[in-house]
Amino acid sequence: MCADLWSFALSTYARPGVEAACLRLQAQGADVCLLLCGAWLERRGVARLPERVVALQQLARPWRTRVVDPLREVRVQWRALAQQDAQLAELRRQVKALELEAERALLTRLEALAKTWPTNEGKGQYEWLEDLASEAADLDHNALQQLRVGVTRT
């Protein structure tokens, strides 16, 4: 079990099926950083309380909308053009790296908030993912379940 959220997120995202599930959920409006944080909290046995869910969402939303999403939009807009322009492809690679660093910064902020919450108080609680994905419209519950399965694989 990874102690810090960034390491947990990297190892979880690399597991079979997790990346695809995360991308599907992201396309539906879910915040993958929040979902990975929720999975991390579940693994640590942190009790899900409504005020904790709200605190995480309030911390994540402005960073995602002001920092991560604009970088992602530029990267996506440049996808087709970058296939035919080497200089633009390099710029797109740099934007992708910035997007990843912005996500890492968000995960660091989420971890700092949640690090003070007691662990091993909510073993067997599996509502974190559902609550943190609740902002996504028409949530793909199959993708959420695929994420959960990927997280529980050891």
pLDDT computed for residue 29 by the predictor: 87
Type of residue numbered 49: L
Quick one: pLDDT band at residue 62, thresholds 50, 70, 90? very high
Q: What is the pLDDT of residue 152?
A: 78
What average pLDDT score do residues 79-99 get?
A: 97
Among the residues of 1-138, which ranges form H helices? 5-13, 18-27, 32-44, 50-63, 69-77, 79-82, 86-114, 128-132
pTM score, whole prediction: 0.90
Q: How many Cβ atoms sit within 10 Å of the Cβ of residue 14?
A: 10
Confidence of residue 126 (pLDDT cuts 50, 70, 90): low
Are the C-beta atoms of 82 and 99 separated by less than 8 Å? Answer: no
- At 97 the pLDDT is 98
Which residue type occupies 105? Answer: A
Report the alpha-carbon distance of residue 61 to residue 29 in Å, rounded.
11
**Confidence class for position 137, pLDDT limits 50, 70, 90:** low
Taking each helix axis as running N to C, give the angle between helix 32-44 and helix 5-13, from 0 to 180 degrees, rounded to the nearest 10: 110
At 148, which amino acid appears? R
CA gap 13, 80 in Å, rounded: 25
What is the spatial distance between Cα 31 and Cα 64, in angstroms, rounded to a whole number?
8
Phi (first) and psi of residue 139, to 5 degrees: -60, 135
